Amino acid sequence: MMKKWEENIRRVVPYTPGEQPNESGMIKLNTNENPYPPSPDVRRALEEMEEESFRLYPDPSASVLVDALAEYYHRPREQFFTGVGSDDVLAMAFQTFFNSDKPILFPDITYSFYPVWAELFGIPYEQPALDEEFRIVKKDYERENGGIIFPNPNAPTGLYMKLAEVEEIVRKNQDVIVIVDEAYVDFAGPSAMELVDRYENLLVVQTFSKSRSMAGMRIGFAVGNPVLIKYLNDVKYSFNSYTMSQAALSLGAAAMKDQAYFQKNIRKLVATRERTKKELKALGFRFPDSGANFIFASHESCSARELFEALRERKIYVRYFDAPRLRDYLRITIGTDEEMDALLAFLQEYIRKERIRKL
Amino acid sequence: MMKKWEENIRRVVPYTPGEQPNESGMIKLNTNENPYPPSPDVRRALEEMEEESFRLYPDPSASVLVDALAEYYHRPREQFFTGVGSDDVLAMAFQTFFNSDKPILFPDITYSFYPVWAELFGIPYEQPALDEEFRIVKKDYERENGGIIFPNPNAPTGLYMKLAEVEEIVRKNQDVIVIVDEAYVDFAGPSAMELVDRYENLLVVQTFSKSRSMAGMRIGFAVGNPVLIKYLNDVKYSFNSYTMSQAALSLGAAAMKDQAYFQKNIRKLVATRERTKKELKALGFRFPDSGANFIFASHESCSARELFEALRERKIYVRYFDAPRLRDYLRITIGTDEEMDALLAFLQEYIRKERIRKL
């Protein structure tokens, strides 16, 4: 029987965070982590960190990290806001900017936390459907709304929308805030960041978790005109002043500074992705043409769920979404060349056996 | 003129986080930081940290830290919840447990974020007044309510309420959740943690920022019966799965394990506090008998605001609250013996001059 004190407890749909298996011999392609370590500068920063200073609160304005971002992107520091991963930045942006009675808009197939935050903060929302090929239908974003958010590239499809199209959505919605969630943009093409100077209503959000190989340190940031950034900081300071640890600030700054390492890392990953696409196609898979560090693939004759289980059996972890329109697909993170070779070898053998079985 | 896109932006009272000055020769007694560095084990943990693993998401269940807490406190691990500082833990607890139509109760003079979170989450609240001597009036917490929260010791008074009295409040409110915020308890007396096995409705919150010298790493935790902890985790996972970085988890675990260092640190600080009390009294200050790592002091003849400014001029930073009932007081963090000596020498001279001026 429910106790009296349980009556006013918030009930949520129990959510299991993406599996974080840790087994020897496993190949982890399930949470879009970067297969390469962060820049060697991060090691150096770790060694230089002084534990004596841990007794003090961190700098609430995150100066050292904001400075590194401003320098890297050649933008004024007033255009940057930082947070504990892009989830923290996005949740803060929902709270700050989406306070209209009109529904905010985001695609039906997209990052799974958008509806969660909307529910949490009591924000009305509508989810226009992606088209048959998983593309965002731009005209669906021309109706009255309380704000817009979409990832570019989109998740879990990987599809990148050209900057001119992103701009069209931003331009046609200048009365509301448009958030472009660019968690995967470094693997894809130009960032909408360059539109920030022209559109006051645009907020671009990025993360250190993918292209910067720093998922473990929880660092995200937003770029927007200084007025938007000030609103974000006001809300943040008003209810939690110190969120980013000293370690996140100094290691994040170190990761941001090593431009050469970063670009080499991206090139390597994109080369592996493009090769993997060719080989998957040859094996009978189809998928939206991904600009991200993952491929969202479906096979012409194999069940995605069965394949997911078989891969798991072999300790190759990928992501499966048991949801309408998604359940024929697997989301496969791009790992090292060796990891992709092991995956492809397994798939080849699996598909061969399936063909024989079906004869 | 306000732009259309600005209309639905959340307005908050712009809040300036506690000053974090960083000047040579300064004495920083304004944010209740510990004057001593964390355990040397934290240094070792820093050196052993492997930056290669930063590419991976942190363990969302914070196992390494939860295990260290469970071991230190000799309690089952299912009784612990961790977060990014106790502010994060407390905000999460407000969201999870305070969903009644009846007002939650907390003192009129208390931690300043309670009303902020209540407003943010739309929780009705009432603030029974402390008595003349800044004590919590227990019978004010016997009316119908939607939950209760208070710090013990209270902030910014430093007054510690005996465990039997805390228990009385918990016992008389078994239909709602009672949160005891013990940020400063290690400097004061027994924790309400030991009541958790007897009262299912009790949640105890603590932090690494004060007694553990780890404000810079942002680590807080809650102790409660496993059902409460599960509700907290459900809410947390449902909207942000990865909040604590790998660094916070491993450095926090290291800090928790070194019991001998911790106890020596506490003893030293308490000795300095008790000596400071005597000397402040001799100088004509009065204050509630603090059990925390700060003293909330008022002088019989000097203006607190003027003294605050004079100290600041000399680069001695303390905290001043310009609010009813508080504006005659300064909150002075306990620093090292040398820092307190410098403070006391300055006060002695200041008061001597004031006396002469007033003759």
Q: What is the pLDDT of residues A300-356, one digit of tens each?
A: 999 999 999 999 999 999 999 999 899 999 999 999 999 999 999 999 999 999 989
B4-30+260-358 belongs to which CATH class?
alpha beta
The ipTM of this complex is 0.95
- Which CATH architecture is the domain B40-257 placed in? 3-Layer(aba) Sandwich (3.40)
Chain A residue at shortest CA distance from B210: A55
Chain B residues in contact with A56 by the CB 8 A cut-off are 20, 28, 33, 215-216
**Cβ contacts of A324 within 8 Å, gap of 6 or more:** none
Kindly state whether B3 is in contact with chain A, defined as any CB-CB distance less than 8 angstroms. yes
Does the bond joining A156 to the residue before it have cis omega, within 30 degrees of 0? yes
Q: Of B104, B55, B316, B24, which Cα lies nearest the Cα of A219? A: B55
Instruction: Specify whether the CB–CB gap between B222 and B232 falls below 8 A.
Output: yes
Residue A309: partners with Cβ closer than 8 Å, 6 or more residues away = none
The answer on pLDDT for A21 being more than 90 is no
Contact check, Cβ <8 Å, B91/A240:
yes
Which pLDDT does position A13 carry in this prediction?
73
Amino acid sitting at position B230: K
Query: Cβ of B155 under 8 Å from any chain A Cβ?
Result: no
């087994």: which residue's tokens? A23
Lowest-confidence segment of A10-24, A176-190, B52-66, B121-135 by average pLDDT? A10-24
C-alpha atoms less than 13 angstroms from C-alpha of A297 in its C-beta half-sphere: 28
Tell me what pLDDT residue B14 has. 65
Residue B159 DSSP code? P
Q: Whole-angstrom Cα distance, residue A306 to residue A353?
A: 13
What is the pLDDT at residue A322? 92
Report yes or no: A210 at the B interface, CB cutoff 8 Å: no
Q: How far is A88 from chain B (nearest CA, A)?
A: 7
User: Is A5 an 8 Å CB contact of chain B?
Assistant: yes
User: Could you tell me where the DSSP H helices lie in A38-197?
Assistant: 40-48, 63-73, 85-97, 113-120, 163-171
pLDDT at B39 over 80: yes
A12: nearest CB among B31, B47, B234? B234
> Contact, A245 vs B49, CB < 8 A?
no
Per-residue pLDDT tens over the stretch B116-145: 999 888 899 999 999 999 999 999 999 999
- On chain B, the residues whose CB falls within 8 A of the CB of A87 are 239-242
H-helix or E-strand containing A220? strand A220-224
Residue from B120, B236, B245, B319 whose CB has the most chain A CBs within 10 Å, to mutate: B245
Task: Give me A34's structure tokens.
Answer: 């970067």
In chain A, where are the structural domains located?
23-37+260-358, 40-257
Please state, in angstroms and as integers, the Cα–Cα distance from residue B160 to each residue in A21, A350, B105, following that order: 44, 67, 18
Count how many residues are written for chain B: 359
Q: Is A178 helix (H, G, I), strand (E, B) or coil?
A: strand
Q: Tell me the shortest Cα–Cα distance from B353 to chain A, in angstroms.
A: 34
Alpha-carbon separation of residue B230 from A15, A30, A234, B30, B63 (angstroms)? 12, 25, 32, 36, 14
Q: With helix as H, strand as E and coil as C, how does A281-322 read?
A: HHCCEECCCCCCCEEEEEECCCCHHHHHHHHHHCCEECEECC
pLDDT tens digits for B283-342?
999 999 999 999 999 999 999 999 999 999 999 999 999 998 999 999 999 999 999 999
Beta-bridged to residue B205, according to DSSP, are B181, B222
Task: Give the span between the Cα atoms of A100 and A87, in whole angstroms.
Answer: 21
For residue B300, the 8-state DSSP code is S
**Collapsing DSSP states into helix, strand and coil, what is residue B330?**
strand
pLDDT at site B16: 64
Among A33, A95, A238, the residue with its CB nearest the CB of B55 is A33
A23-37+260-358: what CATH class? alpha beta
Q: How confident is the model at residue A238 (pLDDT cuts 50, 70, 90)?
A: confident
What residue spans of chain A are helical by DSSP H?
Answer: 40-48, 63-73, 85-97, 113-120, 163-171, 226-239, 246-257, 259-282, 304-313, 337-358
Average pLDDT over residues A73-85: 97
Measure A145 CA to nearest chain B CA, in Å: 11
Cβ of B59 within 8 Å of Cβ of A14? The answer is no
Answer whether B231 sits within 8 Å of A16, measured CB to CB.
Answer: no
DSSP character for B124? -
Q: What is the pLDDT of residues A170-203, one digit of tens each?
A: 999 999 999 999 999 999 999 999 999 999 999 9
Confidence category of residue A18, pLDDT binned at 50, 70, 90 = low
* pTM flag (> 0.90): yes
Q: Identify whether the C-beta of residue B109 lies closer than 8 Å to the C-beta of residue B134.
A: yes
Q: What is the percent of chain A where pLDDT is above 70?
A: 98
